[in-house]
Amino acid sequence: VASEFDIIRRYFTRPAPRAEVGVGDDCALVKVASGVELAISADMLVCGQHFFADADPLKLGHKALAVNLSDMAAMGAVPRWAMLCLALPEPDEAWLEGFSRGFFALTQEYGLDLIGGDTTRGPLNICVQILGEVPEGQALRRDRAKPGDEVWVSGTLGDAGLALAHAHGRIELSPEDAAACFAQLDMPQPRVALGLALRSIATSAIDISDGLVADLGHILESSGVSADVEFSALPVSAAGARHLPGEIAQQAVLAGGDDYELCFTAPAALATEVATLARRLRMPLTRIGRIAAGSGLRIYDAGGNPLSIGVGGFDHFR
C-alpha cells in the first residue's frame, strides 16, 4: 500500500518555480511582488454534495481547481499558488493518477504552482486554497456597484443546473444537450482572462457559483443598491432555450449554481468597451439589467411583469 509520503511524492510533487520552498517542508515559502495585494480563497468539495462518488477523477481534479480559479477571476487576480488538502477513503492509484492529471493540466494552463497541502484518510473530501496577486487597489470587489451601472454576465446560465436536474431524473435532456450541459458542470472554464480585463471596466464582480439570484444578490447587498433584470435578456445555451419557459430550466438559469460565469457591473458609458472585450476574448458578455438605488433584485418577464423569485441560491444547509 502506498504511504502518505509516497502519494505526495508520486502524484503531487512537481517543480514549483514560483516558490522559494514548495511541497515538502512544514510550510511553503513564497515571495509576493511589491505593490500588489494578495487575494486568497478556499473551496471544499465533498463527495455526495458537490460530485457523485463515481465521478471521473480527471474531471474532479479539473473542477476542484477551476472553482478556485473562478474566485481569482471574480477578484481580477492573477493566480499564483495553490494548496491541496485531500481526504481519501483509500489510496486508489488510478484515482490519484486521474485526479492529479486533471489538477496539473489546469495549473499548467494558468501558470500557477502547487506548493503544499495535506493528505489523509477519510471520506472523500477535496479542499483547495488558492493565492493570487492583484495590483493594489485594483481588485474587483462586490461592494462597489453604483446606481446607473449596467449588469452583465459572461457565457450562458443554467447549463450546470440542467445537467444536475437530468442526473436527478427531474428533466430529460437529449444526448447532445446532456453532453453540452455536463461539460459545463464537470469542466467549468474559469474566466480568469475576463477578470483581469475587467479591472479597468467593472465597478463590481462576483462569480456565479450559487446561482444568479443569490450571487447578484450578494453584489446588491454589499453595495447597498437594487437591480432590475429582464429574464428574457439572460443568456442561455441551445439546451437551455429548448427547455424554457419550463420551470426547471427557469430555476436552473436563475438559481442553478455551479455556472462559474462572472456577473459584473459597469458604468453605462463603458458598454462599448465591454462589447469590444467580448470580441477580443471570444466569449458572450450579455447586458442583463441595470443597478438602481434602494435594495433587492427585481426580475421582469418579457411583458414587464415582475417574476416572483421563490428561488434562493444554492445553500448547503437548506
**Least Å from the CB of residue 145 to a second copy:** 13
Considering the complex, what minimum distance in angstroms separates the CB of residue 131 from a second copy? Answer: 7
| Residue 129 C-beta: closest distance to a second copy, Å | 4
Closer to a second copy by Cβ: residue 90 or 176: 90
Residues composing the chain? 318
Residue 263's identity, in one-letter code, is: C
* Cβ-Cβ contacts under 8 Å for 201 (sequence gap 6 or more): 266, 270, 273, 274, 277
Closer by beta carbon to a second copy, 161 or else 190: 190
Nearer to a second copy, 158 or 217 (CB): 217
| Residue whose CB is less far from a second copy, 308 or 317 | 317
Cβ neighbors of 221 (< 8 A, separation 6 or more) are: 295
What's the grid cell of residue 259?
Answer: 455556472
Min CB(91)–a second copy separation in Å: 5
Q: What angle do CA 125, 128, 133 make, to 5 degrees?
A: 170
Instruction: Encode burial over 131-153: b for 16+ CB neighbours within 10 A, e otherwise.
Output: bbbbeeeebbbbebbeeebbbbb
Q: Which amino acid is at 147?
A: P
In the bound state with a second copy, the residue whose beta carbon lies nearer, of 214 and 244, is 214
Q: What is the nearest approach in angstroms of a second copy to the Cβ of residue 37?
A: 5
